[in-house]
Amino acid sequence: MIHIAQGSAMAQESPKNSAAEIPVTSNGQLEDSHEHSFNRDLKRSLPVGLGLSETKITSHGFDSTKEGVVEAGPFPGKGSSASPKPSVISPSSAAASRLAGQGCDLIIPTGGRAQQKSGPVVLADEVKNPAMEKLELVRKWSLNTYKCTRQIISEKLGRGSRTVDLELEAQIDILRDNKKKYENILKLAQTLSTQLFQMVHTQRQLGDAFADLSLKSLELHEEFGYNADTQKLLAKNGETLLGAINFFIANVNTLVNKTIEDTLLTVKQYESARIEYDAYRTDLEELNLGPRDANTLPKIEQSQQLFQVHKEKYDKMRNDVSIKLKFLEENKVKVLHNQLVLFHNAIAAYFAGNQKQLEQTLKQFHIKLKTPGADAPSWLEEQ
């Protein structure tokens, strides 16, 4: 009875250490089987007649090397000299939370071990929900799409106002019109190349036929021979002209479908930025025309911030388009000048029958021909 009273007094004097006497499972519930086995091992290790007053229970911090160790005091009686093995109770998050509720200031990091520090209980930051982030992105995209669609419809109906840079818009219109004309020239040049290829192929076949008849018709040997040589020469010059035209087509195609198209892509981005800018400008103007109270002032401030963001984007895209149009004009003049000179000189030399001038034109522009009718090199030339 005396030992029980002393044990009760000790439990009242140290309420904070009472949590160390409670074994808990990983989910914070009492584990009856573990408690019974712990009491059974303690009774076996203690000699008969030893009271709770002679048992020293220590509860160290979770950072200590001895966590929740129950140590038995010196044995008063005679018996085995072997000391009882300490029972280790691993702490859990539930036990740590109970210690925090009893007055211990703990900081519980995400790692699981608790460190005793001064201050309130601080839990680790919660991981952001990716579903909520996607939902917020969809909401912003939907709002922006709605504003831009409303702005486009208002402009088409003649109700909304739009920002116009007259000089830049005129340059863009000229560029689009020129692109259509260049595409038409490119299409016609491709048609000419296809027809010239068919004509050259026909002339080469005709020359072969004349050469064959020149050998078999002795009475018309010279006549067939002249025509054979003429057709073969025309076919050779036609292949040279075909190489010049194909070179012209390739460079104009690069200019139209790559260089100009890249600039027009930037123009489309500029126009999208302009629509967004006008949409948020209209939204801000409507809010400014309304009443100013505690409910509308935050909306006006937020709308002003969004308007400023889209204004900066619009100014940047307008500057990018101006720079690209300037460089495009310089590049276009240089490319088309060389290609038009090539096309003119090649066509003039071909129809004038000036074979040397035609070949000189190709050398001037560094054009190497790979004629389909050329004979394959012999095995001696390949060595």
Instruction: Report the pLDDT averaged over residues 293-316.
Output: 88
Share of the chain above pLDDT 90, in %: 35
Extract the tokens encoding 357: 């001038």
Query: Across the chain, what does the average pLDDT equal?
Result: 74
Residue 61 has pLDDT above 50, yes or no: no
CATH at residue 208: 1.20.1270.60
Q: Which residues on adjacent β-strands are paired with residue 107?
A: 115, 122
Q: How far does CA 182 lie from the centroid of its chain?
A: 34
Within a domain: residue 243? yes
Query: Would you say residue 212 lies in a domain?
Result: yes
Domain count, the chain: 1
| Better-predicted residue by pLDDT, 97 or 137 | 137
Over residues 56-63, mean pLDDT:
43
- CA-based torsion, 174, 177, 180, 185: positive or negative: negative
Q: Is the pLDDT of residue 195 over 70?
A: yes
Q: What is the pLDDT of residue 289?
A: 83
Mean pLDDT of 145-168: 84
Q: In this predicted structure, what is the pLDDT of residue 79?
A: 43
pLDDT value of residue 134 = 85
Amino acid in position 366: H
Helix axes 261-289, 166-216, angle to 10 degrees: 160
Instruction: Please report the pLDDT score of residue 286 as a whole number.
Output: 84
Of 133-147, 306-320, 321-335, which range is least confident? 133-147
Angle at alpha carbon of residue 336, lines to 333 and 337, rounded to 5°: 75
- Per the structure, the complete domain to which residue 359 belongs is given by 175-367
Return the minimum-mean-pLDDT range out of 35-44, 176-185, 244-253, 340-349: 35-44
- Binned at pLDDT 50, 70 and 90, residue 161 comes out as confident
Has residue 120 been placed in a domain?
no
pLDDT tier for residue 132 given thresholds of 50, 70 and 90: confident
Is pLDDT of 319 > 80?
Answer: yes
pLDDT tens for 5-25 read 444 444 444 444 444 444 444
pLDDT higher than threshold 70 for residue 292? yes
Judge whether 219 lies within some domain: yes
Which residues, at least 6 apart from 75, have a Cβ–Cβ distance to it below 8 Å? 47, 50
pLDDT score at 370: 67
Lowest mean pLDDT among 200-214, 320-334, 363-377: 363-377
Domain assignment present for residue 253? The answer is yes
pLDDT digits (tens, 9 = 90+) for 29-52: 444 444 555 455 545 554 444 444
pLDDT of residue 108: 41
Outline where DSSP puts E strands in the chain: 55-57, 69-72, 87-88, 106-107, 115-116
Q: Which amino acid is at 31?
A: E
Q: Give the three-class secondary structure for 86.
A: coil
Prediction pTM value: 0.58
Is the confidence at residue 383, as pLDDT, over 50?
no
Residue 51, domain member (yes or no): no
Higher pLDDT, 200 or 64: 200
Whether residue 174 has pLDDT greater than 70: yes
Instruction: List residues bridging with 72 in a β-sheet.
Output: 55
Mean pLDDT, residues 188-193: 96
Q: Is residue 351 part of a domain?
A: yes
In a domain, 330, yes or no: yes
- pLDDT band of 128, cuts 50, 70, 90: low
